[in-house]
């Protein structure tokens, strides 16, 4: 057994180590500065307090992006030096964010140990590679992201840090499954490398009826395609979709995890998941090949998802509403009923209508998965989702990209129980259109203005807030832009009081609510690594089932017009068009 020594290394603070919506995300060139990562990790240990760190079992892994392998070795050495008892690493350092959450909650180590927390190494949907982004976040014992109390403390510590602890361990081989033991001043320290997929696969099998999904996937009527965008989802897709559920290997696209995501932008939306979008018959240059019946994609760390039907896009806001409406019948985990449902504020109100219909508890929370976690820990929420391509349930405390795909496959399997041997397949599009016919449709679109000058973005937002007290004036402006939109009846900045811990989150997005239920929401992204990203969310409710089949950009055109002119988007940002429309 290798015996190690601990040294204290002097350091000085770096500016800007404030964790955003989901941890600290910066360019790789920032992270590789000497002591940069070390300062953040030590600040995290100090925020957790030495008593909690000593003897802890920590998971350290991520989406495999560039710099992960170096970072894992550094964190192992610092964990040893800080008295952590053992570190668990997914093979090759790979674990999706939902798998980390599952591992914290479910996994039992070979010596019977349970994890107490995790460092997740990912910048989620941001590109990777030497010139792109790296990220790190800490998750707690419940499997969810650290609450603001802890992240604020971490940040405070980064501003005054003077030293960190590191052990002189040799690098651990993280490609080989097994345990390496070390001896240190505080006793034994182990590193256990384990299979990245098996705990997660086991959890999925306990939630869904794999047999019925297998029948669907093996039916010649049903065709399937999954795009991991070269993110970590690839490490799970083959195991689950091909080995467990019998999908063809050729139905997997970009499922080999790569450090730079193959040079792409691993964000599952209509702009960045180009190959899948083309295959599903949704791009302009359609080929003659018949698209699959079902397509889905994941982001870098596999917590996001995009669901597509043949030549059909399912908005994330509709997706969570449809999952909630069908969960009890189609997914065994929910057969006893849903405890409640929740969505983030900018997500469309499609879920609200389902909750009302089914008489379910309903919550509207600020953007960020941690708010759902609190509700779930209190037994108030079973299914939740966000417009930002995140969907999930209380099986873990992160959103879960593959779970969402399995949920959709379960619904398709359930609706087609009788049809697989004869009869017409009920498609993704049928399911969505039937949902609209029952519940009405929330036309929805999001405009993103990425990498805008940060002060210009702030001014735009300040101007929108300044307008809010005088609705009379707002309505005059609105009428001057379009006479065919309804009246603004309420305008505010969204504020949330957590029903579980009573904490208050202010300034969570600027809202303009219209008399007919339409909404305009403006928010600054909390996940970028450079400049500012303005998000504009536009929504309009249509109850009349004869009018739910329109093209959404066309239906929303008047509201878009109002939003752009009211906010003076071009004037403030110099942009005549958004970077991405979803
Ligand atoms: C992450 C969080 C989500 C959140 C999203 C918002 O993905 O996990 O919960 O919805 O960020 O991103 P934004 O860039 O809009 O702040
Ligand atoms: Zn992600």
pLDDT tens digits, residue range 237-274?
Answer: 999 999 999 999 999 999 999 999 999 999 999 989 99
Distance CA 172, CA 69 (A): 10
Nearest to 86 by CA among 70, 100, 75: 75
Distance CA 504, CA 104 (A): 28
Q: Which residues contact 554 (CB under 8 A, 6 or more apart)?
A: none
For residue 580, pLDDT beyond 90: no
Q: Is 164 helix (H, G, I), strand (E, B) or coil?
A: strand
Q: 183 is written with which tokens?
A: 């001896």
In total, the chain counts a number of residues equal to: 582
The answer, yes or no, to whether any atom of ligand 1 lies below 6 A from the CB of 97, is no
Distance CA 297, CA 305 (A): 6
Does one domain contain both 72 and 148? Answer: yes
Q: 409 is written with which tokens?
A: 């496959």
Does one domain contain both 427 and 461? Answer: no
Atom of ligand 1 nearest to the CA of 399: 8
Q: 20 is written with which tokens?
A: 């955003």
**Residue that is last in its domain, among 439, 464, 494:** 439
Distance CA 287, CA 539 (A): 32
CATH number assigned to the domain comprising residue 555: 3.30.310.50
The answer, yes or no, to whether any atom of ligand 1 lies below 6 A from the CB of 348, is no
**Residue that is last in its domain, among 439, 458, 492:** 439
pLDDT, position 488:
94
Does one domain contain both 452 and 568? Answer: yes
Does one domain contain both 19 and 119? Answer: yes
State pLDDT tens for residues 479-532: 999 988 999 999 999 999 999 989 899 999 999 999 988 999 999 997 766 789
Please give the residue that has the higher pLDDT: either 296 or 485.
296
Does one domain contain both 184 and 41? Answer: yes
How far, in Å, from the CA of 55 to the mean position of ligand 1?
Answer: 32
Which ligand is the nearest neighbour of the Cα of 123?
Answer: 2
Active site (catalytic) residues: 124
Which ligand is the nearest neighbour of the Cα of 266?
Answer: 2
pLDDT, position 286:
59
Q: Supply the mean pLDDT for the chain.
A: 95
pLDDT, position 111:
84
Q: Is 376 left (phi over 0), alpha (psi -120 to 50) or beta?
A: alpha
pLDDT, position 287:
66
Cβ–Cβ under 8 Å, residues 189 and 84: yes
Cβ–Cβ under 8 Å, residues 519 and 344: no
Which helix (DSSP H) or strand (DSSP E) does residue 225 occupy?
A: strand 224-227
Look up tokens 């080989």; give the residue: 176
Q: Which of 19, 123, 386, 400 to mutate to test the pocket of ligand 1 (most atoms within 8 A of CB)?
A: 386
Look up tokens 């958004």; give the residue: 578
Distance CA 518, CA 539 (A): 5
Does one domain contain both 190 and 214? Answer: no
Q: 320 is written with which tokens?
A: 């969570």
What is the β-pairing status of strands 117-121 and 133-139?
antiparallel
**Residue that is last in its domain, among 150, 173, 195:** 195
Distance CA 255, CA 329 (A): 31
Lay out the sheet containing 519-524: strands in order across.
488-493, 510-514, 519-524, 532-542, 441-452, 580-581
Atom of ligand 1 nearest to the CA of 387: 10
Residue 533 exposed, middle or buried by CB count within 10 Å (0-12, 13-18, 19+): buried
Distance CA 10, CA 88 (A): 28
Atom of ligand 1 nearest to the CA of 344: 10
Mean pLDDT of 454-470: 94
pLDDT, position 420:
83
pLDDT, position 75:
98
Using CA atoms, how far residue 125 sits from 71, 190, 260, 470, in Å, is 19, 32, 12, 39
- The percentage of the chain sitting over the pLDDT mark of 90, rounded to a whole number, equals 87
How far, in Å, from the CA of 474 to the mean position of ligand 1?
Answer: 29
For residue 417, pLDDT beyond 70: yes
Which ligand is the nearest neighbour of the Cα of 100?
Answer: 2
Mean pLDDT of 450-477: 93
Residue nearest to atom 4 of ligand 1 (CA): 368
- What are the residues whose beta carbon lies below 5 Å from ligand 2 (ion)? 124, 299, 301, 303-304
pLDDT, position 547:
86
Count of structural domains within the chain: 3
What is the β-pairing status of strands 24-27 and 86-90?
unpaired
Does one domain contain both 97 and 149? Answer: yes
pLDDT, position 422:
82
Does one domain contain both 182 and 282? Answer: no
Distance CA 455, CA 390 (A): 29
pLDDT, position 21:
65
Mean pLDDT of 43-62: 96
pLDDT, position 529:
62
Q: What share of the chain is helix, strand, coil (3-state, %, to 5)?
A: 35, 25, 40
How far, in Å, from the CA of 110 to the mean position of ligand 1?
Answer: 35
How far, in Å, from the CA of 509 to the mean position of ligand 2?
Answer: 21
Does one domain contain both 474 and 325? Answer: no
Distance CA 206, CA 317 (A): 26
The answer, yes or no, to whether any atom of ligand 1 lies below 6 A from the CB of 126, is no
Opening angle at CA 96, ends 93 and 100, nearest 5: 85
pLDDT tier at 393, thresholds 50, 70, 90: very high
Residue 514 exposed, middle or buried by CB count within 10 Å (0-12, 13-18, 19+): buried
The backbone torsions φ and ψ at residue 422, rounded to the nearest 5 degrees and listed phi first, read -165, 160
How far, in Å, from the CA of 145 to the mean position of ligand 2?
Answer: 12
Distance CA 141, CA 114 (A): 9
Largest CA distance in the chain: 78
The backbone torsions φ and ψ at residue 501, rounded to the nearest 5 degrees and listed phi first, read -105, 0
Start-to-end CA distance of the chain, whole Å, equals: 54
Q: Is 219 helix (H, G, I), strand (E, B) or coil?
A: coil
State pLDDT tens for residues 544-572: 888 888 989 999 999 999 999 999 999 99
Residue nearest to atom 5 of ligand 1 (CA): 368
For residue 312, pLDDT beyond 80: yes
pLDDT tier at 139, thresholds 50, 70, 90: very high
The answer, yes or no, to whether any atom of ligand 1 lies below 6 A from the CB of 305, is no
pLDDT, position 368:
87
The answer, yes or no, to whether any atom of ligand 1 lies below 6 A from the CB of 122, is no
pLDDT, position 24:
95
Q: Which residue range is the domain that position 465 belongs to? A: 441-581
For residue 20, pLDDT beyond 90: no
Does one domain contain both 411 and 474? Answer: no
Does one domain contain both 214 and 183? Answer: no
Residue nearest to atom 9 of ligand 1 (CA): 368
The answer, yes or no, to whether any atom of ligand 1 lies below 6 A from the CB of 368, is yes
Cβ–Cβ under 8 Å, residues 408 and 400: no
Return the bridge partners of 24, or none: 136
How far, in Å, from the CA of 300 to the mean position of ligand 2?
Answer: 6
pLDDT, position 7:
97
How far, in Å, from the CA of 388 to the mean position of ligand 1?
Answer: 6
Distance CA 119, CA 499 (A): 28
Q: Count how many Cα atoms sit within 13 Å of the Cα of residue 154 in the half-sphere of its side chain.
A: 26
CATH number assigned to the domain comprising residue 164: 3.40.120.10
For residue 285, pLDDT beyond 80: no
Does one domain contain both 471 and 424? Answer: no
What sign results for the dihedral spanned by CA atoms 247, 250, 254, 257?
positive
| Weakest mean pLDDT among 203-217, 346-360, 408-422 | 408-422
Q: 278 is written with which tokens?
A: 């083309």
Which ligand is the nearest neighbour of the Cα of 400?
Answer: 2
Q: Which of 120, 122, 367 to mutate to test the pocket of ligand 1 (most atoms within 8 A of CB)?
A: 367
């Amino acid at each position: 057994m290798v015996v190690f020594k601990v040294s204290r290394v002097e350091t000085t603070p770096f500016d800007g180590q404030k964790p955003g919506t989901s941890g600290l995300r910066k360019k790789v060139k920032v992270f590789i500065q000497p002591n940069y990562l070390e300062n953040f990790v030590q600040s995290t240990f100090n925020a957790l307090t030495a008593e909690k760190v000593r003897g802890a079992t920590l998971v350290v892994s991520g989406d495999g992006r560039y710099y992960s392998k170096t970072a894992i070795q550094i964190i192992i050495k610092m964990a040893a030096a800080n008295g952590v008892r053992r570190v668990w690493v997914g093979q090759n350092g790979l674990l999706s964010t939902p798998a980390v959450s599952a591992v914290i909650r479910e996994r039992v180590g070979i010596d019977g140990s349970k994890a107490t927390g995790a460092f997740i190494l990912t910048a989620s949907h941001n590109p990777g590679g030497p010139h792109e982004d790296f990220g790190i976040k800490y998750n707690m014992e419940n499997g969810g992201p650290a609450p603001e109390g802890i992240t604020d403390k971490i940040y405070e510590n980064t501003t005054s840090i003077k030293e960190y602890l590191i052990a002189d361990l040799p690098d651990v081989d993280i490609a080989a499954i097994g345990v390496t033991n070390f001896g240190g001043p505080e006793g034994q320290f182990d590193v256990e490398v384990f299979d990245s997929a098996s705990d997660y696969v086991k959890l999925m099998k306990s939630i869904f009826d794999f047999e019925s999904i297998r029948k669907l996937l093996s039916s010649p009527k049903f065709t399937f395609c999954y795009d991991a965008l070269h993110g970590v989802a690839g490490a799970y897709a083959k195991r689950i979709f091909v080995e467990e559920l019998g999908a063809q290997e050729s139905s997997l696209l970009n499922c080999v995890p790569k450090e730079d995501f193959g040079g792409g932008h691993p964000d599952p939306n209509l702009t960045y998941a180009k190959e899948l979008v083309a295959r599903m018959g949704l791009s302009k240059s359609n080929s003659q090949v018949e698209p699959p019946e079902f397509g889905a994609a994941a982001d870098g760390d596999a917590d996001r998802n995009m669901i597509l039907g043949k030549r059909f896009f399912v908005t994330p806001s509709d997706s969570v509403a449809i999952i909630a409406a069908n969960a009890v019948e189609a997914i065994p985990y929910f057969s006893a009923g849903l405890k409640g449902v929740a969505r983030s504020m900018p997500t469309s109100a499609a879920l609200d209508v389902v909750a009302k219909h089914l008489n379910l508890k309903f919550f509207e929370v600020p953007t960020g998965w941690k708010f759902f976690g609190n509700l779930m820990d209190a037994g108030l929420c079973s299914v939740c989702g966000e417009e930002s391509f995140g969907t999930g349930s209380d099986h873990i405390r992160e959103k879960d990209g593959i779970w969402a795909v399995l949920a959709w496959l379960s619904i398709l399997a359930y609706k087609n129980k009788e049809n697989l041997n004869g009869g017409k397949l009920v498609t993704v599009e049928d399911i969505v259109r039937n949902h609209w016919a029952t519940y009405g449709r929330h036309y929805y679109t999001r405009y993103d203005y990425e990498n805008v000058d940060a002060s210009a973005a702030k001014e735009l937002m300040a101007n929108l807030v300044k307008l809010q007290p005088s609705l009379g004036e707002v309505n005059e402006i609105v009428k001057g832009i379009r006479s065919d939109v309804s009246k603004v009846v309420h305008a505010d900045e969204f504020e949330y009081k957590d029903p579980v811990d009573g904490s208050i989150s202010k300034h969570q997005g600027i809202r303009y609510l219209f008399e007919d239920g339409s909404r305009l929401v403006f928010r600054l992204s909390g996940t970028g690594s450079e400049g500012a990203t303005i998000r504009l969310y536009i929504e309009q409710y249509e109850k009349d089932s004869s009018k739910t089949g329109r093209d959404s950009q066309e239906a929303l055109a008047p509201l878009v017009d109002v939003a752009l002119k009211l906010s003076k988007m071009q004037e403030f940002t110099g942009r005549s068009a958004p970077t991405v429309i979803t």
